[in-house]
Amino acid sequence: MKIHLLRTGTVRLKHSFLFPSRGVRRQLDLFLPGEWSEPVPIHCWAIEHDGRLLLVDSGETAGVKDVPFARFQVTPEQELPAAMAASGLALQDVSEVVLTHHHGDHVDGLIHVRAPVLIHEEELRHLRTAFPSVMRRVLRQPLPPYFAPRTFALDGGPFGAFARSRALSDDGRILAVGTPGHTPGHISVICIDDSGRHVMLAGDATDTLEQLLALRADAVAPDPKVHVATLEAIKAHCAQHPTVYLPSHDPQTAERLAGAITVA
């Protein structure tokens, strides 16, 4: 198995996004003036395994528009095709794409992909409810007309500390696990690498390892309690089994993947 980290540009995030206040200010502060972070990466992944090439998310594109809490820096030369070429991979070899969740910086790169796209059924159901529809209009992020994913259920029973999972490969070495919070149907992908370690492609389950260890709910989670319960499950999993924890936007993700550095 080979796991490639793909980088499609960077984003600067408002401090109130990374370190939210509690209560009503949690989301309100996102729309008020504030400090900005240094640029953080926008990652997605490609997994070569058993003759297949599975993408986890598809990254951002240069056409992205800034939102009140995120300023994007993405050029056409940083989009998915170039990010894959930098790892010696070609788009036409992609077998399928699985999405951690439906936010623009994880799905916009789908414009380049012709392979089947898989999304957790609960994420798709949430996407069709009123609030996300309004937010897509406010944030000028319409669903693209070509977006026609296949859905999957987390019906494979528990895996480690996660209550719900589903195998994404025949040998069960690539799995989706339920990590709701950041969005209601958010999933993470766990790969059991050739040494038996778990490599957790965590999407936006948290922005950083620090946020996981602090058990801090993020600013956009619809229900912070659901998010914190997920963070507790991830921490429990990392305690049970050597796990390399890789959120999409953590500046340390590349180093941890390259060095197979597990959560202590």
Nearest distance in Å: CB 103, Zn ion:
3
175 is written with which tokens?
């799995």
Of 104 and 160, which CB lies nearer to Zn ion in the complex structure? Answer: 104
Q: How far is the CB of 139 from Zn ion (least distance, A)?
A: 12
Task: State the binding string over 178-217 for Zn ion (x if CB under 5 A, else -).
Answer: --------------------------x-------------
CB of 157 to Zn ion, least distance (A): 27
Closer to Zn ion at the Cβ: 108 or 204? 204
Cβ nearer to Zn ion, comparing 93 with 223: 223
Nearer residue to Zn ion within complex by CB, 103 or 173: 103
| H or E element, residue 98 | strand 96-98
* 58, 119, 198, 253, 256 from 263: Cα distances, Å: 26, 27, 10, 12, 9
Contact 104, 132 (CB under 8 A): no
Specify the residue, 164 or 227, whose C-beta has the smaller distance to Zn ion. 227
Closest CA to 84 of 8, 146, 149: 8
Query: Least distance to Zn ion from the beta carbon of 44, Å?
Result: 10
Q: Residue 260 CB, nearest distance to Zn ion (Å)?
A: 24
Q: Mark out the alpha helices in the chain (DSSP H runs).
A: 15-18, 25-28, 80-86, 104-107, 121-127, 130-138, 209-213, 224-240, 253-258
Nearest approach, Cβ of residue 257 and Zn ion (Å): 17
Residues 6+ apart with CB under 8 A from 258: none
Q: Is the CB of 128 or the CB of 264 nearer to Zn ion?
A: 128
Rounded least distance, CB 245 to Zn ion, Å: 16
**Paired tokens of 166:** 């589903």
Work out whether 256 is an interface residue with Zn ion (CB under 5 A): no
Nearer to Zn ion, 29 or 57 (CB): 57
Task: Return the closest-CA partner of residue 8 out of 69, 68, 65, 81.
Answer: 81
Contacting Zn ion within 90-129 (CB under 5 A): 103, 105
Tally of residues, the chain: 264
Does residue 16 come out as left (phi exceeding 0), alpha (psi in the -120 to 50 range) or beta? alpha
Contact 45, 5 (CB under 8 A): yes
Residues that bind Zn ion (CB under 5 A): 103, 105, 204
